[in-house]
């Protein structure tokens, strides 16, 4: 005889979970009011946000410096400026984005007109990462507000000072039934994901992205996943090596390599490898200093976000060197200050630890190739990258690379800069992401595109009404022949 199962233990929701539910219900009750707002009303909200950011930019710089040791100029370039650019672009264009888009109507539907309406999805959730803790929360928030949604958001707990700043900013600019921010760790994110949002926007790694997608599936919520991956760099025989070295060192070592679109590794034609490595050594010296002591003391170089991430990056370098990689420059690490030197590795093979996954630190592996097919085989063997960078003066070679690879975005003869153009969609493909945003693409991400057909007079389609004989059958046959 089977033993009786014990009665399930009912767990009482925490006070924080109850508060989340209360805020969610308040936002759900208000979402129809928000969705009916005019362009002028939404622009007024965005302008209030812009004014608050401008007024508090020094406070923001201090918060990010306390989390990352990031220089104020880098905060301006990577956090404040992109956010203000996104705000200004949205304010300028929102009225036209909100207008219904007229589309053509086939002859069979003569007497009617068709258009697409852009409607708010409803209550949306934004889960943002730690590496650019301000900009990567603000950009989707701006898009969600511009589309007329109510928004709940959560920044990363790994950057507590910036998270606290964001909490104060959001509270001062928006009433809670329009935009609410919740601080906390994984348990807070899990509690938020239990709520039946209409859309979830997540920026982070693929492993957590899969959990977010699973949670969204329970409520059939749409999702945008901004993930990452190993973004390759291809440097061919024709590249300008000096300019290439400058771009690579800037793009790789900004924010201490903790950038989702950072160049992750380099494939350089074997004939240019030594020239590129030496050029990067020169650039690193110019950027951060000629000795490890100078580089560690540089006010222009950030730190790794936390001890666990520091250990992970240091371990990747140590294990790769142990199996044959050569440290060309850098390699030093200091645990108490969470410092990993700007590092270039040569002699790297595809099976080395540093090539296992996204590095997300200031370490640049360099591999060589003789034929582009070697590069294609390697790039295709892994997950589709978020970005791909090509350094070449050969237009045919560039086109060949694009024809034989895929990535979320791409740049020729530079790195990162595609992210700064609000007229381009930003997003990944496959394991590097799902969906996109920035500019009008962000507005559409947080909008439902409603298809509308308006019948103004009797339609030709009425000739196909039953019974399906005589004239109806003859007209159907003629229409079919016209489409052949």
Is 304 within 8 Å of 335 (Cβ atoms)?
no
Q: Bin 112: left if φ > 0, else alpha if -120 < ψ < 50, else beta.
A: beta
CA-based nearest residue to 427, from 440, 408, 402: 408
Peptide bond just before 467 cis, omega within 30 deg: yes
Q: Has 260 been annotated as catalytic?
A: yes
Dump strand ranges (E) for 23-157.
Answer: 101-103, 112-120, 123-127, 150-154
Render the burial of 118-133: b for 16+ CB within 10 Å, e for the rest: bebbbbbbbbbbbbbb
Instruction: Indicate which residue of 74, 79, 86, 260 is catalytic.
Output: 260
* Beta carbons within 10 angstroms of residue 20's beta carbon: 22
Classify residue 270 as exposed, middle or buried by CB count within 10 Å of its CB (0-12, 13-18, 19+): exposed
Distance CA 123, CA 144 (A): 9
CA distances from 447 to 147, 179, 450 (A): 6, 17, 9
Q: What whole-number distance in Å separates Cα of residue 442 and Cα of residue 435?
A: 9
Distance, CA of 340 to CA of 327 (rounded, Å): 13
Q: Is 249 a catalytic residue?
A: no
Nearest to 42 by CA among 1, 85, 93, 84: 93
Cβ contact 122:448 at 8 Å: no
Which of these is catalytic: 86, 226, 246, 328?
226
* Residues classed as catalytic: 226, 260
């Amino acid at each position: 005889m089977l033993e009786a199962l014990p009665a399930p233990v009912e767990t009482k929701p925490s006070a924080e979970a109850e508060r989340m539910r209360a805020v969610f219900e308040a936002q759900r009750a208000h979402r129809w009011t928000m969705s009916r707002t005019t362009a002028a009303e939404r622009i007024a909200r965005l302008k209030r946000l812009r004014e608050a950011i401008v007024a508090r930019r020094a406070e923001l710089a201090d918060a990010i410096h306390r989390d990352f040791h990031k220089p104020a100029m880098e905060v301006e370039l990577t956090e404040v400026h992109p956010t203000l650019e996104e705000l200004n672009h949205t304010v300028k264009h929102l009225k036209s984005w909100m207008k219904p888009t007229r589309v053509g109507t086939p002859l069979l539907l003569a007497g009617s007109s068709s258009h697409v309406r852009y409607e708010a999805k409803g209550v949306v959730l934004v889960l943002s990462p730690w590496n650019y803790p301000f900009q990567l929360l603000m950009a989707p928030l701006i898009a969600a507000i511009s589309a007329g949604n109510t928004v709940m958001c959560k920044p990363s707990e790994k950057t507590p000072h910036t998270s606290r700043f964001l909490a104060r900013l959001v509270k001062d600019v928006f009433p809670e039934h329009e935009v609410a921010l919740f601080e906390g760790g994984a348990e807070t994110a899990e509690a938020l994901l239990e709520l039946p949002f209409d859309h979830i926007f997540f920026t982070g790694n693929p492993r957590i992205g899969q959990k977010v997608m699973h949670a969204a599936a329970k409520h059939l919520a749409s999702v945008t996943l901004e993930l990452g991956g190993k973004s390759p760099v291809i440097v061919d025989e024709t590249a300008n090596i000096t300019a290439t070295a400058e771009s690579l060192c800037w793009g790789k070592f900004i924010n201490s390599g903790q950038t989702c679109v950072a160049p992750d590794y380099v494939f350089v034609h074997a004939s240019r490898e030594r020239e590129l490595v030496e050029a990067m050594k020169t650039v690193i010296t110019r950027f951060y200093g000629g000795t490890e002591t100078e580089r560690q003391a540089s006010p222009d170089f950030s730190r790794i976000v936390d001890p666990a991430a520091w250990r992970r990056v240091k371990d990747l370098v140590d294990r790769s060197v142990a199996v044959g990689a050569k440290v060309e420059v850098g390699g030093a690490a200091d645990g108490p200050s969470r410092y990993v030197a700007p590092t270039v590795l040569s002699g790297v093979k595809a099976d080395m630890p540093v090539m296992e996954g996204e590095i997300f630190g200031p370490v640049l592996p360099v591999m060589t190739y003789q034929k582009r097919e070697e590069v294609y085989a390697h790039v295709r063997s892994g997950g589709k990258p978020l970005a791909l960078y090509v350094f070449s003066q050969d237009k045919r070679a560039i086109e060949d690379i694009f024809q034989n690879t895929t990535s979320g975005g791409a740049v020729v003869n530079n790195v990162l800069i595609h992210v700064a153009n609000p007229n381009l969609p930003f997003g990944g493909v496959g394991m590097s992401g799902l969906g996109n945003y920035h500019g009008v693409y962000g507005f559409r991400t947080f909008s439902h595109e409603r298809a509308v057909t308006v019948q103004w007079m009797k339609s030709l389609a009425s000739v196909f009404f039953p019974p399906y004989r005589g004239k109806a059958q003859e007209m159907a046959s003629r229409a079919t022949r016209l489409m052949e």
